Amino acid sequence: MVRLPVSCLDLDQIARSGQCFTWEPVGDGGWRIPHRDRLVTARQEGDSLLLSCSEAELEDTWRAYLDLDTDYAAILASIDPADPCLSRAAERGRGIRILRQDLWEVMVCFLISQNNNIARITRSVAALRAAYGRPAGAFRAFPRPDELTAASEAGFRAMGLGYRAGYLARLVKALSGGGLGRLEEALSAADDQEAEALLMGFHGIGRKVADCICLFGLHRTDFFPVDTHIRQVLSAHYPQGFPFDRYQGHLGIVQQYLFYSDL
């Protein structure tokens, strides 16, 4: 067990912010968090974060995953106090951090998130892991593209994916056999505009989903995904336009405050 002091982090807010769909609640306010082939249980006691891992695992995996080295207090301090909407949103969601998630997992989750809700996405993701994920100790890891090649579009549809089953079947075909590794290399060499265009080249991935993948799967924090919730917030509170220039470098974090507050 590792205990470390932390500020501007709230596990419940992160879990309910719409960026991750594999966390599972456990007793005493804790969360069971899988990441690739690792699993940790996380709890908070006051200003302390407790993780069921060793110091080595913290440094190898969980420090980066939870984005513990980013100064979120400085980001919160940068918000214009004369902006009542964003100030209120940041106060409500001040414990949100942008997780450094696995790219493939994020691609699948947001591909099937379209015209969907968090509860149903979570159930579908759990079904994918249960049916096709490889055993990794006490849980099943999120299945990689090659582990999904035997799955059918009809099988995906039976897991509640609806019309998105076709999107996932085509994505698996495109990224199995080394395709995911090639995509990761291409995205690593791409600037933000190029990365967005690369992702939008896949069937079923439009601009909003591509922007979510860039933010949550690549940790490119200048992406500001605009869905129905955010579009309504911008229309209601920023008729003259949102001050994007002021928040360059962490626009995606600001977007999460607005999204969480609106939810």
CATH for 79: 3.30.310.260
Mean pLDDT of 69-95: 97
Mean pLDDT of 65-80: 97
pLDDT attached to residue 36: 93
pLDDT attached to residue 27: 82
Q: Do 155 and 88 share a domain, yes or no? A: no
Question: Given a cut of 90, is residue 104 above it in pLDDT?
Answer: yes
Assigned domain for 236 exists: no
pLDDT attached to residue 28: 83
Q: Do 203 and 113 share a domain, yes or no? A: yes
Q: Do 71 and 156 share a domain, yes or no? A: no
Tokens representing 76? Answer: 């919160």
Q: Do 160 and 139 share a domain, yes or no? A: yes
Assigned domain for 244 exists: no
Assigned domain for 247 exists: no
Q: Are 171 and 107 in contact (CB under 8 A)?
A: yes
pLDDT attached to residue 262: 85
pLDDT attached to residue 116: 85
Q: Do 109 and 31 share a domain, yes or no? A: no
pLDDT-above-90 percentage for the chain: 90
39, 65, 92 - which closes a domain? 92
Q: Do 88 and 107 share a domain, yes or no? A: no
* Active-site residue identified among 208, 219, 229, 250: 208
Q: Do 107 and 82 share a domain, yes or no? A: no
pLDDT attached to residue 115: 85
pLDDT attached to residue 207: 96
pLDDT attached to residue 247: 97
Alpha-carbon gap, residue 140 to 131, rounded angstroms: 9
Assigned domain for 237 exists: no
Is-catalytic flag, 173?
A: no
Mean pLDDT of 60-85: 97
Q: Do 65 and 170 share a domain, yes or no? A: no
Q: Do 108 and 22 share a domain, yes or no? A: no
pLDDT attached to residue 111: 95
Q: Are 98 and 65 in contact (CB under 8 A)?
A: no
Assigned domain for 232 exists: no
Q: Are 110 and 213 in contact (CB under 8 A)?
A: yes
Domain count for the chain: 2
CATH number for the domain harbouring residue 208: 1.10.340.30
Alpha-carbon gap, residue 263 to 18, rounded angstroms: 9
pLDDT attached to residue 29: 85
Q: Do 122 and 207 share a domain, yes or no? A: yes
Q: What pLDDT, in 10s, does the model give residues 117-152?
A: 888 899 999 999 999 999 988 889 999 999 999 899
Assigned domain for 242 exists: no
φ, ψ dihedrals at 56, nearest 5°: -65, -40
20-29, 90-99, 194-203: lowest mean pLDDT where? 20-29
Q: List the beta strands (DSSP E) in 172-249.
A: none
pLDDT attached to residue 208: 96
Q: Do 128 and 85 share a domain, yes or no? A: no
Query: The domain containing residue 191 runs over which residues?
Result: 103-217
Q: Do 125 and 200 share a domain, yes or no? A: yes
Assigned domain for 239 exists: no
Assigned domain for 258 exists: no
Q: Which of 87, 91, 36 is nearest to 64 (CA)?
A: 36
pTM: 0.95
